[in-house]
Structure 1
Amino acid sequence: MSPKNETNETGVLVLTLAITLGLVGSVFWWLANNSGVIDNLTTNQSRPPQDTYTHKVNLPSGLYSYGGSTTWAPIRKQIEPEMQKLWPKFQLRYTDPTTGAPGSGTGIKMLLDNQLAFSQSSRSLKDDEFQKAQQRGFTLKEIPVGIDGIAIAVNPNLQIPGLTLAQLKDIYTGKITNWQQVKGPNLAITPYSRRLEEGGTIEFFAENILEGEKFGSKVKFIPTTTQALREVAKNPGGIYYSSAPEVVGQCGVKPLPLGRKPDQLIPPYKQPFVPLQNCPKQRNQINALGFQTGEYPVTRRLFVIIKQNGQSDQLAGEAYANWLLTNQGQELITKAGFVRIR
């Protein structure tokens, strides 16, 4: 073969190779921009299988104080260690009020007084709280992150099918004073509660169950849920209301079904009911489906309350709330005994 022919063939081969590489590169570029192939090839090796938000979040460094709802305690226990692993420079500190008991209302007040970066609440913001924020030159924002239910605890030996919301209201306003009036034994009722100013759960109960009426004179006020549940466990006629995760899994009290009508009583626990003698090896679980669908009659949302002031406090609160709305955050809320909102 002549040198000239060899040169021509070499040129043809080089040109063919260049065209082939060009076509392959074009196809690869198209796939990368239209189907995410390159993203998958690169990110699957370098990123752990977590939510995209976890990798994009821009959390401020430093120590941030937050506070509020006692209902949130099981969530805090699950969330904080995980956030600390992901963002060690983003440090959180739960802060109790200097006066009064911790709760949703006191947490919001501390936020308004610049004592907290953000707060946690088991109730929605009130109009006067929005107004106070505006007077201080900023606004408040509430982000719902989970679902909770109010559960009713009674003594394990009390035999009663359940209560309607109207009957529950009448017990706490003093119109019903004996269990015999609601298909129970001839036994005086001892209703327990925390004080109205001590938490979002009590405010929610007063507004949605008592419908603005005052507590009856027979109501005994107890400082904490732990103490109240102990009283119900030893008092045959005792009754108490609280966040469902604080009641349903307990070994010393029995959660009651609730309903809007006597023939629509829905338990706050997943059926079948686990006998209390099996506790603590087996515990009753939350009726998550009943809470999600609204079939259970007393549910509410849990909120992160954020100060909209354009500063690092706002960034910290929004990042905290948004991470709770990721799949990982929602799973931890479920693990804490509450119901995921998404």
Structure 2
Amino acid sequence: MIKAAKSLLAMSMLVLAACSGNQEKNQDTSTRGTISISVDESFQPIIESQVNTFEGIYKYAHINAMYKAEGAVIKDLLDDSTRIAILARKLNADEKAVFDKRKLTPRYTRIAIDGVALIVNNKNQDSLLTMKQVKDIFTGKIENWSGINAASKLKNITLVFDNNNSSTARYMRDTLMAGQPLPAGAYASNSHEALIDYVAQNENAIGVIGVNWISDRDDTTSMNFLNKIKVVGISKEENPTSTDSYFQPYQAYIAQGEYPLRRFLYIISTEGRAGLGTGFAAYVASDKGQRIILKSGLVPATMPVRIVGFNNRASSFEQ
């Protein structure tokens, strides 16, 4: 009887040890394990580069990045479907309240400064707009290209977004429209590729797209996109007297603040410990991760950018 009891105890200890070993094995660390992250699809090119490089350095780390519209990414975070999200904004008060109830404090890692680009058809001669004109277009005050240029032969302006629930659509509503709905003629495409193709095929269209889809000059996909469309230059002046007052969303102009449509990019973590998501966030914010962002055409958020020779001045930008 005593022998049987000792045998049972020994077996129980072995089972507990095995279970404990499995839990330790399955629990991710900052450089190993498997996790899923939810990412604003506006930033797919740059985050794909970051994930591929991170996994190349840490061979036991596997990150399943799910690219979705901003609203779907927020939902994943609130539903606890993911504990790592990459977004172009911080959580609002209502969203924070969800985590307050769970006794969780979301942690933010700012990783880049991005621009929202406006693109037009290659045949459109009006590729320079003031911020006032942009606002009037997006609020419906200007509906026809003749409202921009009386000599224009183009007709009604068609606004094109990647998705009605996207971060670029939300950004334009918040920045230019005080949260009001998009104009009735606005059109939502199914993807960034479809958006660019639509603008390339429709002379009346203006597309709204994240800069990182068209900013990496070493990326063939980005260059193919640029060959199909024109990128709009924007002036903050109401009545510019020179084309020098207009700025396209190039890295230097985003860094200097000359290009007006810009936003920050964050990694938001609700991990309660230093897991793989925390390790990935630290990598993206590190020198190596920031250099990938620099190469992509976005502005690194945690390292200074030295800009020489633009507008006859040198300046440094650190955010």
CA apart distance, 1:296: 0.8
C-alpha separation between the residues in 2 aligned to 1:237 and 1:125?
35
Question: What is the rounded CA distance, in whole Å, between the counterparts of 2:185 and 2:162 in structure 1?
Answer: 13
Q: Is residue 181 of structure 2 the alignment partner of residue 214 of structure 1?
A: yes
Equivalent of 2:158 in 172, 190, 198: 190
Cα deviation, residue 234, structure 1: 0.9
Kindly provide the amino acid, as one letter, of the partner of residue 160 in structure 2. Answer: Y
Confirm whether residue 74 of structure 1 aligns to residue 45 of structure 2: yes
Residue from 237, 241, 246 that aligns with 1:266: 246
Matched, 1:123 2:89: yes
1:290 aligns with 2:253: yes
SS of residue matched to 2:48: helix
Deviation digits for residues 203-222 of structure 1, max 9, x if unmatched? Answer: 11110122222211111222
Determine if contact 2:118/2:207 at 8 Å carries over to the other structure: yes
C-alpha distance in 2, partners of 1:146/1:256? 22
Alignment pair present for 1:253 and 2:229: yes
Q: Does the Cα contact within 8 Å between 1:164 and 1:259 map onto a contact in 2?
A: yes
Question: Counterpart of 1:139 in 2: which secondary structure?
Answer: coil
More strand by share: 2
- Aligned match of 2:203: 236
- 2:185 is the counterpart of 1:227: no
The alignment yields a C-alpha RMSD, in angstroms, of 2.0
Which residue in the other structure is 1:172 paired with?
A: 138
Q: Does 1:315 align with 2:275?
A: yes
Relative distance call for 1:171 and 1:318 in structure 2 (3 A) is same
Determine the C-alpha separation between the residues in 1 that align with 2:144 and 2:298.
Answer: 32
Q: Distance in 2 between matches of 1:85 and 1:247?
A: 25
CA distance in 1, matches of 2:182, 2:61: 43
Larger radius of gyration, structure 1 or 2? 1
Say yes or no: does 1:114 pair with 2:71.
Answer: no
Q: Which residue of 1 aligns with 2:112?
A: 146
Unaligned runs of 5+ in 2: 1-28, 216-222, 304-319
Mapped pair 1:160 → 2:121: no
Partner residue in 1 for 2:286: 326
- Please tell me the residue identity of whatever aligns with 1:204: Y
Deviation for aligned residue 1:110: 0.7
Using the alignment, how far apart are the partners of 1:80 and 1:60 within structure 2? 12
Normalised to the residue count of structure 2, the TM-score between the two structures is 0.75
SS at match of 1:72: helix
Aligned CA distance change for structure 1 residues 170 and 335 (closer, same or farther; 3 Å): same
Query: Do the aligned residues in 2 keep the contact of 1:122 with 1:303 (CA within 8 Å)?
Result: yes
TM-score normalised by structure 1 residue count: 0.71
- The CA deviation string for residues 183-216 of structure 1, in whole angstroms up to 9 with x for no partner, is 26132212112444x2222211110122222211
Aligned twin of 2:12: none
Q: Give the superposition deviation at 1:173.
A: 2.5
Measured after TM superposition, the shift of residue 148 of structure 1 is: 0.7
Partner Cα distance (1:61, 1:171) in 2: 49
Q: Percent identity?
A: 24
Instruction: Report SS of the residue matched to 1:143.
Output: strand
- Aligned twin of 2:61: 90
Report if the CA contact (8 A) 1:68-1:108 is conserved. no
Moved over 3 A (4+): none
Q: Give distance in 2, aligned partners of 1:266 and 1:64.
A: 43
Q: Aligned partners of 2:194, 2:126: CA distance in 1, in Å? A: 23
> Offset of 1:60 from its aligned partner?
5.0
Q: Offset at 1:153?
A: 0.3
